[in-house]
């Protein structure tokens, strides 16, 4: 009788097209798509976090804390609510609505933080946290009034989980994330100037407004693509760019792709732990990142909070 799982000793035979047929099916249809999804989502959140930290000159910025993830999640849920359950367009257009939600959230946050001259890191962090909590509350409200039975997995989705979508949607998400990461990497020289301050960047010839707009839109794109398939996974966008800076330096031309690669690796490891720690019960991967990321955030806030508040 076939094996019910793929062990490390089975992997060489499976990769060679040999071994147990059930093991090959599990690897090709379950394990590999999940690993690819973890890599894509990790790369998206980490690269977005690194770019936002440079654009906003805030070492504590990330898509989750600033409310981009919550806005993207709300947009995705709203589309899932209005789209017919039997429609093939439902999954296909969900990333687009997630993108619209993320864009609305981040530009709403920027507008509110600039009101009455209150543009500083502490204000943005506070307002971002409130915005994210509000989006999560609205998601729960929409699910409750729409059809609870249709969203049985919404709690797992809210804390972040990796259930591979169809191959076509996974490929579309890959294209979106790759495009966004490449765009952020090409903006690296300008992000370096922005990190030194808007006035300095403008004096050195950088089109500050255009660069900020493009960087935020690219961060929204990759965040929305990730959230639309994985839910709200926190702390990856916060932790990984700081690790990348520690190991590769602050140059955004290297930092963005390094954050993407490191984010992909870390989320693959986190998802593996989520699968095996309490097997056969699977922990949502967002729980693992929160357990690791919570202490990391507190440490960063304690060590670099004064620096962030002065931004």
pLDDT digits (tens, 9 = 90+) for 163-198: 877 767 888 899 999 999 999 999 999 999 988 888
67 within a domain of the structure (yes/no): yes
- Top-confidence residue, 304 or 78: 78
The mean per-residue pLDDT over the stretch 283-298 comes to 85
Give me the pLDDT at residue 38, please.
93
- Choose from 41-45, 229-233, 304-308 the range with maximum mean pLDDT: 41-45
Give me the pLDDT at residue 3, please.
42
* pLDDT tops 60 at residue 15: no
Q: What's the chain's average pLDDT?
A: 81
Q: Please tell me the total count of domains within the chain.
A: 1
CB count within 10 Å of CB 34 equals: 18
List the single range of 48-62, 64-78, 116-130 with lowest mean pLDDT: 116-130
3-state secondary structure of 70: helix
Alpha helix segments (H runs only) across the chain = 11-15, 21-26, 32-55, 68-82, 89-114, 121-146, 154-159, 167-186, 188-195, 198-203, 208-230, 236-248, 252-276, 285-309
- pLDDT tens readout for residues 196-226: 888 888 888 889 889 988 999 999 999 999 9
19 within a domain of the structure (yes/no): no
How far apart are alpha carbons 73 and 173 in whole angstroms?
15
Residues of the chain above pLDDT 70, percent: 78
87 within a domain of the structure (yes/no): yes
232 within a domain of the structure (yes/no): yes
Give me the pLDDT at residue 157, please.
76
The mean per-residue pLDDT over the stretch 27-43 comes to 84
Give me the pLDDT at residue 19, please.
54
Give me the pLDDT at residue 2, please.
40
- Choose from 81-95, 112-126, 132-146, 158-172 the range with maximum mean pLDDT: 132-146
* pLDDT tops 70 at residue 90: no
How far apart are alpha carbons 56 and 80 in whole angstroms?
32
The owner of tokens 């806030």 is 301
Lookup: tokens for 189: 């020289």
267 within a domain of the structure (yes/no): yes
Domain that holds residue 90: 39-305
* pLDDT tops 60 at residue 23: no
- Top-confidence residue, 117 or 107: 107
* pLDDT tops 70 at residue 48: yes
Lookup: tokens for 112: 């509110």
Give me the pLDDT at residue 298, please.
78
298 within a domain of the structure (yes/no): yes
pLDDT band for 269, please (50, 70, 90 cuts): very high
List the single range of 166-175, 259-268, 281-290 with lowest mean pLDDT: 166-175
CATH number of the domain encompassing residue 219: 1.10.3470.10
Give me the pLDDT at residue 30, please.
67
| Per-residue burial over 105-127, b = 16 or more CB atoms within 10 Å of its CB, e = otherwise | bbeebbebbeeeeeeebebbbeb
How far apart are alpha carbons 177 and 228 in whole angstroms?
12
Question: pTM of the entire structure?
Answer: 0.84
The mean per-residue pLDDT over the stretch 113-139 comes to 78
Closest residue by Cα to residue 50 from 244, 232, 209: 244
124 within a domain of the structure (yes/no): yes
Closest residue by Cα to residue 233 from 277, 289, 300: 289
Give me the pLDDT at residue 121, please.
64
311 within a domain of the structure (yes/no): no
Give me the pLDDT at residue 16, please.
46
pLDDT band for 151, please (50, 70, 90 cuts): low
The angle subtended at Cα 43 by Cα 39 and Cα 47, nearest 5°, is 175
């Amino acid at each position: 009788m076939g094996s019910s799982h793929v062990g490390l000793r089975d992997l060489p035979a499976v990769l060679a097209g040999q071994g147990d047929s059930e093991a090959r099916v599990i690897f090709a249809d379950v394990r590999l798509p999940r690993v690819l999804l973890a890599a894509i989502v990790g790369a998206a959140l980490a690269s977005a976090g690194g770019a936002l930290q440079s654009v906003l000159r805030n070492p504590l910025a990330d898509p989750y804390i600033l409310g981009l993830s919550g806005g993207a999640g709300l947009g995705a849920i709203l589309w899932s609510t209005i789209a017919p359950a039997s429609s093939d367009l439902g999954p296909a257009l969900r990333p687009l609505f997630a993108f619209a939600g993320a864009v609305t959230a981040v530009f709403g946050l920027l507008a509110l933080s600039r009101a009455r001259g209150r543009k500083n890191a502490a204000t943005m962090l506070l307002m971002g946290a409130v915005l994210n909590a509000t989006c999560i509350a609205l998601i729960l409200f929409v699910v409750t009034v729409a059809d609870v039975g249709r969203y049985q997995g919404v709690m797992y989705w809210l804390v972040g989980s990796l259930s591979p979508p169809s191959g076509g949607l996974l490929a579309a998400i890959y294209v979106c994330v790759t495009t966004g990461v490449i765009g952020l990497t090409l903006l690296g020289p300008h992000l370096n100037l922005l990190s030194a301050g808007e006035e300095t960047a403008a004096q050195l010839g950088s089109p500050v407004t255009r660069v900020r707009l493009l960087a935020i839109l690219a961060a929204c794109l990759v965040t929305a693509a990730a959230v639309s398939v994985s839910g709200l996974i926190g702390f990856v966008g916060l932790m990984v760019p700081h690790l990348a800076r520690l190991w590769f330096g602050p140059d955004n031309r290297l930092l963005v792709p390094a954050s993407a690669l490191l984010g992909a690796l870390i989320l693959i490891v986190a998802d593996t732990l989520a699968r095996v720690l309490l097997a056969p019960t699977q922990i949502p991967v967002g729980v693992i990142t929160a357990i690791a990321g919570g202490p990391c955030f507190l440490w960063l806030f304690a060590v670099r909070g004064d620096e962030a508040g002065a931004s």
